[in-house]
Structures are given as C-alpha cells and as structure tokens.
Structure 1
Amino acid sequence: MFHNPSDEQRRELLQEAKTIAVVGLSNKPDRTSYMVSAAMQNVGYKIIPVNPMIAGETVLGEKVVASLTDIEEAVDIVNVFRRSEDIPPVAEETLKMKQKPKAFWLQQGIANEQAAEQVSAEGIQVIMDLCIKVDHALLRIGKK
C-alpha cells in the first residue's frame, strides 16, 4: 500500500529543491498546470516545461522541451500533470533522465501505484495525489 512521504520529508524536499521539470505544462494561463508552475516560479524555483505538443515554444519565460530525456541539467522534482493512466510512460522516461531526480510528484487527483513502485525502486521519492503549490503553502516553506 502506497503512502506519501511525511510532511517533514516533503518539507525537506521542497526546501532543498531548486529545479522542477513540469510534465504536461500548458501554455494556456487558465490551465492548472500553468497557474501552479507560475506560483512555484514566483517563490524561486526554476521551471522546465515538458510538453511534446509545444516543444520549442516558451512558457513562463522558459523553453519547452519535448521529453524529460531532453533535459541536460539536474532536476530535483519531476512534477506531473497527466491523467493517472498516462503515468507509466512518464515514470519510464523519468528513469531514463541523464540525472536522476530526487522526487516524482503526481499532482492532485493523479495516482498510479505501478508507476510509483517502478520509480521508488530506483530510489526516487514518490508523492501522489497532492498539489505541489498547496503543499508548499501548507508546509510553510520560505522563499528560495
């Protein structure tokens, strides 16, 4: 049975993290992925948009990449805005990244036990069905 990391573990992750790759980040300002990513950017995180449909465009001032495997720099958190059934390929892509992220974060309403097992088996912390922006506020993380 899956359990999210404790509040303390998530607080530590969010305090240490600097870079968040956002899978499924939309270029539409009215979409949740855009609003959450903008909020995280506003508190000091670097956002790397990942969306094959708009790769090469700029969202929130950052160039969009098609895949997690296209990211050259270290990523602390892979934050995912995709339907639960679409998570396994994202988990596989996460495991193929040039540098292993600290965490695989599935947004509120998103969960996939199979993907969670696969990713956590590789030593990556998994958070499911929680909004990173809400968690950041609730856990009272200071600005970066």
Structure 2
Amino acid sequence: MDEGMDEEQRIRGILAESKTIAVVGLSARTDRPSHEVAQYLQAHGYRILPVNPAYAGTHILGHPCHASLTEANAAIRKEGGRIDVVDCFRKSAEVGAAVDEAIAIGARAVWMQLGVVDDAAAARAEKAGLAVVMDKCIKIEHMQLR
C-alpha cells in the first residue's frame, strides 16, 4: 500500500472501497464478538462471507458458511465477485495461515482484529500488495469514521 498514507487514510480507503468481507472465525453464536461485528458490517451494507470449518455447510447471518477462504473465494468468483477484505478472528499464533490464504486468493486487504498481532504475516501480506490493518476492530474503526 502507499507508504505516504497514514493509518487512518488507509483504513478509510479499505472501508470505502470494499463490498465483500470474508470473516474468518465467524461464530454462529450471537454472543461472540465475531458475530456482533459481522452483523454490524452487514447492517452497514457489506456482504459477509462466513468462514469457519466448525460451521461449514450451515448458514450464518443468512449466508452459507465456508470451510476455508479458498472455498469462499471460489463461491463468490462463480457470481463474478471477489473478496475485498479478510477479517481475521483468529488467535495471533494461528492468524498466519489465514493471511497466507488471503494472499493466495488475491484479497485486497487483511484485517487482524483487536488483540491479533503477527508482524511476519503482516509483512508477507504487504509484500504481496495487500493493505494490512492489525490489532484494530473493524466495527470500532467504521463507527469512528462515519
């Protein structure tokens, strides 16, 4: 991403230019932060693609849940769409695999939720041309920029 761009501008750009957000680790449980965040994003016009192998084959927030980003990407490509943002609700120690998959499918951005930090994965994503946001909640950032 543009080196001269500050983080707020980068976040504003990601949120403004994105339509489809794959939520890795999205829970069907309404009391979980991932569900609350995805529901908020959906209410604000974003298309949500649930990604969670534990719920694969079910529906979350009215959309089929996929076992992997690769599977979610294949499904949206069939419709002529693409995944803009991969929002990661994974532990820091586990997020690298999701970031690598986001790079492989050609997502535009990777968003690591509050408390999720993996500098090496972020560096890989940036080197591959993806915008990266780390250790921030996409819902909180969206609310602050509205």
TM-score by length of 2: 0.89
Matched, 1:104 2:110: yes
- The letter for the 2-side match of 1:109 is G
User: 1:75-109: per-residue Cα shift (whole Å, max 9, x none)?
Assistant: 11000000000011111211221xx1111000011
The residue that corresponds to 1:51 in the other structure is 52
CA distance in structure 2 between the aligned counterparts of 1:91 and 1:15, rounded to whole angstroms:
21
Give the aligned partner of residue 14 of structure 2.
13
Between the aligned partners of 1:137 and 1:85, the Cα distance in structure 2 is 28
State yes or no: 1:118 paired with 2:119: no
Structure 2's unaligned 5+ residue stretches are 77-81
| TM-aligned CA deviation for residue 5 of structure 1 | 5.0
Unaligned segments of structure 1, at least 5 residues: none
Q: Percent identity?
A: 40
The runs of at least 4 consecutive aligned structure 1 residues that moved more than 3 Å come to: none
Give the root-mean-square deviation of aligned CA atoms.
1.5
* Greater length-normalized contact order (CA 8 Å, ≥ 6 residues apart): 1
Rounded to whole Å, the distance in 2 between the matches of 1:43 and 1:17 is 12
Q: Secondary structure at the match of 1:96?
A: helix
Amino acid at match of 1:77: V
TM-score by length of 1: 0.90
| Number of equivalent positions | 136
Report the counterpart of residue 96 of structure 2 in structure 1: 88
* Larger helix fraction of residues: 2
Instruction: Return closer, same or farther for 1:5/1:66 CA change in 2, 3 Å cut-off.
Output: farther
Structure 1 residue 20: deviation in Å? 0.1
